[in-house]
Amino acid sequence: MSILDLQAMKRSGEKIASLTAYDASFAAMLDQAGIDLILVGDSLGMVVQGKESTVPVTIDEMIYHSQCVTRARDKAFVVVDLPFMSYSTPKIAAENAAKLMQQGLAQMVKLEGAKLDIVTFLVAQSIPVCAHLGLLPQSINQLGGYRVQGREKNSADKILADAISLEQAGASLLILECIPATLAKKITNQLQIPVIGIGAGVDCDGQILVIYDMLDIGVNRRPRFSKNYLKEAADISEAISQYITEVKQQQFPTPDHSY
């Protein structure tokens, strides 16, 4: 899979099925099931390391988990998170993104927020960028809690304006986390780049979940927007295949998993 394939999927209306993975075994299982995109998310700080938030995750940990994943996947597109404070200036961002790409073999890096100067600089160095708007887990200490974003008109307008600016700055993909489905639909329709939702309704170009949440094996409570796919599956592979089918057929997320 390349970014061209993901763009073609947006144009053709085929939904992009994505999940997180942090190790070789899950990466191989996802790849064999036909997942389109794997995110090595800094959510590993919470679901793998058992930490309170993603804030303590380091660039070396992201490189290590990225290596575990890219070693085992064959076809899926791999995006890797730049962790907290690893993109505080364009120079620092470029150095850390280069590590994720050269050592971790990431095909794209993801960063949170409307960091337009950083995105512009990375793209100018031929580093593809996935932006992330809505609920920003790395800003949890500022936000005070994991809550739906963009419910009021002002904040919804800001998320839409930021999404357009990020596309203009050169972002190739956008993840929208925990925002009202109507807002996510509006953003998805306005942008040319693929938009992948998590708790953002069924009208995005694709869906992503944290794999531990969709198997309901996390140390934390499963978020409302996730679904336990292991409940009705014989094994993990069947749960992953069912998730992919439901995303492709737009059976997930239902209104129960949306805001």
Question: What residues make contact with ligand KIV under the rule CB under 6 A?
Answer: 20, 39, 41-43, 81, 175, 177, 198, 208, 210
Considering the complex, what minimum distance in angstroms separates the CB of residue 43 from ligand KIV?
A: 3
Nearer to ligand KIV, 20 or 70 (CB): 20
Determine the residue with CB nearest ligand KIV: 41
211-218 long-range CB contacts below 8 Å, 24 or more apart? 211/19, 211/20, 211/21, 211/26, 211/30, 212/20, 212/47, 213/47, 214/19, 214/239, 214/243, 215/239, 218/46, 218/47
Considering the complex, what minimum distance in angstroms separates the CB of residue 175 from ligand KIV?
A: 5
**Residue recorded with tokens 């200036």:** 89
CA distances from 244 to 43, 154, 208, 227 (A): 21, 35, 10, 13
Considering the complex, what minimum distance in angstroms separates the CB of residue 153 from ligand KIV?
A: 25
Considering the complex, what minimum distance in angstroms separates the CB of residue 234 from ligand KIV?
A: 26
What is the Cα–Cα distance from 119 to 125, expressed in whole angstroms?
A: 10
Q: With beta carbons less than 8 A apart as the criterion, state whether 18 and 39 touch.
A: yes
The residue from 95, 152, 167, 177 that is catalytic is: 177
- DSSP classification of residue 218: -
Nearer to ligand KIV, 42 or 162 (CB): 42
Considering the complex, what minimum distance in angstroms separates the CB of residue 168 from ligand KIV?
A: 22
Q: With beta carbons less than 8 A apart as the criterion, state whether 127 and 94 touch.
A: yes
Nearer to ligand KIV, 47 or 169 (CB): 47
Nearer to ligand KIV, 41 or 128 (CB): 41
Burial annotation 89-100 (CB, 10 A radius, 16+ → b, else e): ebeebbebbebb
Q: Any catalytic annotation for residue 238?
A: no
Nearer to ligand KIV, 119 or 208 (CB): 208
Helices 59-72, 90-102: inter-axial angle, 10-degree rounding: 30
Residues labelled catalytic? 177
